[in-house]
Structures are given as C-alpha cells and as structure tokens.
C-alpha cells in the first residue's frame, strides 16, 4: 500500500503500464490498471531483465501460444 505522503513522478507511461519513481518512499511504483506494485530500484532493474528474458524464452519456445507481442 502506498503511503499518503507518496508523490511519485512518472518515468514512463504506456497503455499497459505506468512506471513512476517515488522520492518519498524511494521505491518504483509500477501501476498496471488497478494494481500498483512497489519495488526498490534494484529489484525493478532485475525484474525488467527477468521479464525481458521471459519474453525471449516464450518467443523462442517451440510451443506457441499464439500470443505475439508487437514491438
Ligand atoms: Zn512512494
């Protein structure tokens, strides 16, 4: 839960995600729809790499879900 003092500043915004840096709690606020996840900058950095690797593995996998990411 975000603290009332949080005044996060948007770093990046898209249709699916809103990435904000919060100087108040020193965390990254990751907002997806009604869900907001807070994590440290280090955690976020690792998470971003993990998501990227997961996406790569998914696209490289022989089974295809038909779910293609437009980039
Ligand atoms: Zn905050």
Place of tokens 């996840």: 37
- Contact by Cβ (8 Å): 44, 53: no
Is pLDDT above 80 for 67?
no
Tell whether 71 is covered by a domain: no
Is pLDDT above 90 for 70?
no
Tell whether 65 is covered by a domain: no
Range of the domain at 52: 9-60
Tell whether 26 is covered by a domain: yes
- Cα–ligand 1 centroid distance for 59 (angstroms): 34
Tell whether 34 is covered by a domain: yes
Is pLDDT above 90 for 68?
no
Tell whether 18 is covered by a domain: yes
- Rounded distance, CA 53 to CA 40, Å? 20
Tell whether 22 is covered by a domain: yes
Give the tens place of pLDDT for each residue, 2-49: 557 899 999 999 999 999 999 999 999 999 999 999 999 999 999 999
- Cα–ligand 1 centroid distance for 50 (angstroms): 23
Tell whether 70 is covered by a domain: no
Specify the higher pLDDT residue, 54 or 62: 54
Closest CA relative to residue 17, chosen from 43, 42, 51, 68: 51
Q: Give how many domains the chain has, as a whole number.
A: 1
Tell whether 4 is covered by a domain: no
- Cα–ligand 1 centroid distance for 53 (angstroms): 27
Structure tokens at 36: 């907001």
């Amino acid at each position: 839960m975000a603290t009332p003092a949080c005044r996060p500043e948007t770093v990046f915004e898209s249709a699916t995600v809103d990435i904000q840096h919060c100087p108040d709690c020193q965390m990254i606020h990751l907002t997806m729809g009604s869900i907001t996840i807070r994590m440290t900058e280090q955690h976020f950095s690792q998470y971003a790499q993990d998501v990227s690797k997961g996406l790569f593995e998914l696209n490289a996998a022989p089974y295809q879900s038909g779910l293609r990411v437009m980039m």
